[in-house]
Structure 1
Amino acid sequence: MKNSRRQFMILSAAGACTLALNGKVQAQAMVSEADPQAKGLKYVAVSTTAGKNCTNCALYQGKAGSAAGGCPLFAGKQVAANGWCSAWAKKG
């Protein structure tokens, strides 16, 4: 079967869109407290440590006022803004 340039461009665009959407879907997954890495870092979705939560951690990548955001310790997943883990570091 001989593919035309038009077919190639359409398939390439469709593939790129699929990859982009897949990345966004994966980024929206929340970290579970039962996740082995979360357990290792003692992650909790609701902090019980006064004045320490994900929103004021140097590693937190969420926007101000958001309920959740990214964290490099949990690649591809989001942490709760009110969460906490043992890797917490004061945002400078």
Structure 2
Amino acid sequence: MKTSRRTFLAAGVGLASTLALTGQAFADAAKVDENDPTAVALGYKHDATLVDKAKQPKYVAGEHCGNCQLFQGKPGDAWGPCPIFAEKQVSVKGWCSAYTKKA
């Protein structure tokens, strides 16, 4: 099958716009609300320094989403997706009881 230059360019433009829109969708993903039932159950806080250590004895100072294995944001991102919260955005400075230190 012979592909014309016009078909090739149209497909390339379609692919590029799809990739651009996908990236924008991730950037605009909803942020986790601290009052969300899952967030409450896991003790999630946007700021790890505000974690109630009496309610969350597992918390250790210095732990935060940015150094959690589950955090899927890029280096330098203030917010990033987390599979625990159905891909909603969590703060890089946040914490929840599902915290798992990066290897």
Q: If the length of structure 1 is used for normalisation, what is the TM-score?
A: 0.70
1:46 aligns with 2:47: yes
Work out the CA distance in 1 between the residues paired with 2:84 and 2:96: 10
Work out the CA distance in 1 between the residues paired with 2:85 and 2:96: 11
1:26–1:39 distance in 2 versus 1, CA, 3 Å: farther
1:74–1:31 distance in 2 versus 1, CA, 3 Å: same
Unaligned runs of 5+ in 2: 1-13, 50-59
Question: Could you tell me whether the CA contact under 8 Å between 1:68 and 1:79 is conserved in 2?
Answer: yes
1:78 aligns with 2:68: no
Q: Secondary structure at the match of 1:69?
A: strand
Q: How far did residue 34 of structure 1 move?
A: 0.3
Question: Could you tell me whether the CA contact under 8 Å between 1:43 and 1:85 is conserved in 2?
Answer: yes
Aligned Cα root-mean-square deviation (Å) = 2.2
| 1:34-90 alpha-carbon deviations (Å, 9 max, x no partner) | 000000000000002521000000100000110000100011310001000001010
Work out the CA distance in 2 between the residues paired with 1:45 and 1:85: 9
1:77–1:26 distance in 2 versus 1, CA, 3 Å: farther
Q: If the length of structure 2 is used for normalisation, what is the TM-score?
A: 0.63
| 1:14-35 alpha-carbon deviations (Å, 9 max, x no partner) | xxx7xx66x9169610000000
1:74–1:27 distance in 2 versus 1, CA, 3 Å: farther
Q: Secondary structure at the match of 1:55?
A: helix
Work out the CA distance in 1 between the residues paired with 2:27 and 2:80: 13
Matched positions, count = 74
In the alignment, residue 91 of structure 2 is paired with which amino acid? A
Show the counterpart of 2:38: 37
